[in-house]
Amino acid sequence: MQSGTHNKTGITTLCTVALLLTTAIPSYGGAITDSFQSIAEQAWMNQYIPRSDEETLPLTDYDNFEVTELFRAETIEDLEASLTDGYPMPWLEEVLKDETIPWEDRYWLDCRVRATIAQNTHTFFNPAGNPVHIDADAVFPGELYWREHMIVNPAESVNTNETERPIGAETCASGMILNSFGRKAGNIAVPAFNISTSRSANVSVYVSGGHSIYNRQNPSYACFMYPNGTFVETLLEEPGQYSVAVSQDGSTVVLSCYRPDERSEDNTQTPVYVFDEHGSLQRTIIPSVPLDWCWRPTISSDGQYLCHTAYGVNTCLIDCWNGTCGVVSKPVGFYDRYTGVYNFSPDDGTLCLGGSTTGRILNMSSDQVHIYTETEPLPSDENTFTIVCCSNDASCTTLTTRRSYQASDADYLTLYVDDSVIYSCQLHKLESCLDLKTDISPGGYFLFVNPSDDFCGYPSARGYADVYNLPLIVMQIEGR
């Protein structure tokens, strides 16, 4: 490790997770079993998500569009009722087998539907179509776009007799990582709610040490956890609170100090630490502007760019490869700098900027910011909040907007193809859910309306509210 860092390694073992159904989760580390299961999973994919040699047209080649709601579940009972005949549901099977839709879009939809079922019902479906239910306090994703792997926090703490545990998590039970079919992909030392993982779950990271505004004497550590149960902790030299981001490919891990214990009146800049997947410090970046609170900073899939809330200037973009930092956009509204709601497009070509004002997208190759204007705004809007997402090439863009008017919230979805509005509607939201988000598939063919990523912290029906990961609304865009 580089100078100024401290390492502590340990090995954890997976605690027992009770299975309520007879279908067992294959054991991790059994090469024959894993190989057999992988073959079965691939066979399921070949049957239900077949590939096609025919070229599919991008949506931008069409002049007219039809937006259809394929599925809606507002309660866990709705979700369970839809699974009476097993998985996939009839509506899902039909679109998964539709070879006129790009394969990547269909695969993404399957992953997201499976993840939502697992989060809310703690049930997976294996390649044979059998449900696998686990007894867990929470099942949640660490990577938020594809959600191919889920983290399981067991229902009961089990004394694992582990000699080494991450600092501050000595009494926490270990967890495990399951793939979208419910097959175990590995162990995880601490199934923390604020964890960030790579797409393949080869590395998961959270801040250990127990540091908080109430326990400032405790140092903070970057805790790197691996599927074989091992972990590495690296001391973060700047005392304070940190955000974590792991690139989809797992090559880059960024920990940003957004709230130092001692912040001077001139808002002195604080460090951003860039690590590789092994926990080795690659560089320390001092942004040109102070960072501010950010629930989940966004990082490009290859780890080059990190987008983070900045103090007083709304948004800054950090180049993790060369150490530069620039202000992307200045605040338009008073509360802009408190948002921190950002998303990269699946191809990393576009940065979506959400917040307390009208949504914006930034073309990463031209540095051009495009501002979307809300259609038919309500008079005297207060507390407006928009989450922006887009497909590859920003061909399709969704704006999911919460607007408060006379002490009541209203949520709206606006869908753009290129710069034209093709669809808009009001969304129904549960009282336990603050904000909705509309993710869009890589090619723009499917929309996935769900509570925003903020709610991944409590992804269980046993959590703070009765239902935190619903409603679920799936829509399809068809070109005519």
224-263 pLDDT, tens digit per residue, is 999 999 999 999 998 888 999 999 999 999 999 988 876 5
CB 318 within 8 A of CB 272: yes
Q: Which of 318, 303, 322 is closest to 252 using CA atoms?
A: 303
Q: What is the mean pLDDT of residues 191-199?
A: 91
Ranges of each domain in the chain: 65-87+345-479
Report the share of the chain in percent with pLDDT over 70. 77
Q: What is the mean pLDDT of residues 359-383?
A: 70
Give the type of residue at 71: F
pLDDT in tens, 137-158: 889 999 999 999 999 998 875 5
Q: Which of 181, 212, 5, 10 is closest to 110 using CA atoms?
A: 181
- As a whole number, the mean pLDDT across the chain is 82
412 vs 32, higher pLDDT: 412
Q: What is the mean pLDDT of residues 99-105?
A: 96
pLDDT in tens, 3-41: 333 343 443 333 333 333 334 444 434 555 566 678 999
Give the type of residue at 317: L
Question: What residues contact 367, with CB distance under 8 A and at least 6 apart?
Answer: none
Q: Which of 105, 112, 134, 108 is closest to 121 using CA atoms?
A: 134
- Give the integer Cα–Cα distance in Å for 453 and 339: 13
Q: What is the pTM of this model?
A: 0.88
Strand, helix or coil for residue 113: helix
Question: Which residues face 326 on adjacent strands?
Answer: 317
- Give the integer Cα–Cα distance in Å for 85 and 11: 42
Q: What is the mean pLDDT of residues 467-480?
A: 86
> For 42, what's the count of Cα atoms within 13 Å in the CB-facing half-sphere?
6
Burial of 193 (0-12, 13-18, 19+ CB in 10 A): middle
Q: Which of 174, 273, 261, 187 is closest to 226 using CA atoms?
A: 187
- Is residue 160 over pLDDT 50? yes
Report the share of the chain in percent with pLDDT over 90. 54
pLDDT in tens, 290-313: 888 876 789 999 999 999 988 776
pLDDT at residue 469 in the model: 80
pLDDT in tens, 418-451: 989 999 999 877 666 667 899 999 999 999 999 8
pLDDT at residue 406 in the model: 55
- Give the integer Cα–Cα distance in Å for 173 and 152: 11
Place 217 in a pLDDT band, splitting at 50, 70 and 90: confident
- Give the integer Cα–Cα distance in Å for 277 and 241: 21
Place 324 in a pLDDT band, splitting at 50, 70 and 90: very high
Question: Which residues face 361 on adjacent strands?
Answer: 352, 370
pLDDT at residue 477 in the model: 98
pLDDT at residue 382 in the model: 57
